[in-house]
Structure 1
Amino acid sequence: MSGDARRIIRVSAVVMRDEQGRVLNVRKRGTSSLMLPGGKHEAGEDPRDTAVREFAEELGVPLDASRLRPLGVFRASAANEPGHTVEAAVFEHPFVAPAARAVPRAEIEYLEWVDPAIARPDMAPLNTDYIFPVLPRQEPAKP
């Protein structure tokens, strides 16, 4: 495996927007960047299954894999691992009521519903460079 391949972190991430269009973001313990809920694939795991598993592990909120809408696969500088690139399969899931009451679990220290139209220095590059710019042009996933 080349050095470049070892520097790529493959993940799945979930965009969930509330009624005001804000996007749920999380911050992992010991880090400073807000990012979409999600995480690394387990061996042989489908990206959709990763998205569902990670959302439940991090926030205690179950998602329906059949309701995930693919937004694309994006590469950006990894927010918390200098010198690495994150390759994210990003899905949107319709808002579900339990998400409004979600609490941080596992490695998640903090969560926040953020307005994707407001620039913030604490956002992961994946959000600011790829995900947030396309959201205003797309209708939110329907509940």
Structure 2
Amino acid sequence: MTTLILSAACLLDADQRLLLVRKRGTRAFMLPGGKREPGETALAALQRELLEELDLEMDASALQPLGRFRAPAANEPDTWVDAEIFIGRLSQPVAAAAELEELAWLAPGATPPADLAPLLRDQVLAALADHPGATALS
């Protein structure tokens, strides 16, 4: 069984909506972020991925740790993800870049779509709702 080491972010807009992304050629919506490179910290990997995927520069001080979670990978069979998740507030509009095909928003109190990645659906949404720094999805 393969394990991918990831960094990802729960990015909330001014209306407390959670940003979801879908990579090209996949079905599942997930959080923006991606695989860590050798020697890269979780935060540095996330900052790099946000710049690549969303053309978004976020200072490290704008990202708070939410936790570390493990789940089956959404798009790769026989693979698990081990992800460090952060929370950040968006202060500017974002658009899909690099390998992203689609962006979506999950509003507070809305029913999550059925095509969420397991990590997000089964663990991160509950952790985010319980986090004192995030009022989204509560």
Separation in structure 2 between the aligned mates of residue 116 and residue 40 of structure 1, nearest angstrom? 28
Partner of 1:22: 17
Partner of 2:107: 115
Report the structure, 1 or 2, having the larger helix content.
Answer: 1
Q: Secondary structure at the match of 2:75?
A: coil
2:83 pairs with 1:83: no
Separation in structure 1 between the aligned mates of residue 27 and residue 108 of structure 2, nearest angstrom? 18
Structure 2: 5+ residue stretches without partners: none
Flag the 1:116–1:82 CA change in 2: closer, same or farther, 3 A: farther
| Divergent runs of 4+, >3 A | none
TM-score under structure 1 normalisation?
0.87
Q: Secondary structure at the match of 2:22?
A: strand
Indicate which of 129, 132, 135 corresponds to 2:125. 132
The CA RMSD measured in Å over matched residues stands at 1.5
The alignment-based identity, stated in percent, is 41
Alignment of 1:6-21 (within 5 A): 7-21=2-16
Alignment of 1:47-58 (within 5 A): 47-58=42-53
Separation in structure 1 between the aligned mates of residue 14 and residue 89 of structure 2, nearest angstrom? 10
Report the structure, 1 or 2, having the larger strand content.
Answer: 2
Cα offset for 1:116? 6.0
Structure 1: 5+ residue stretches without partners: none
2:54 pairs with 1:44: no
Flag the 1:26–1:121 CA change in 2: closer, same or farther, 3 A: same
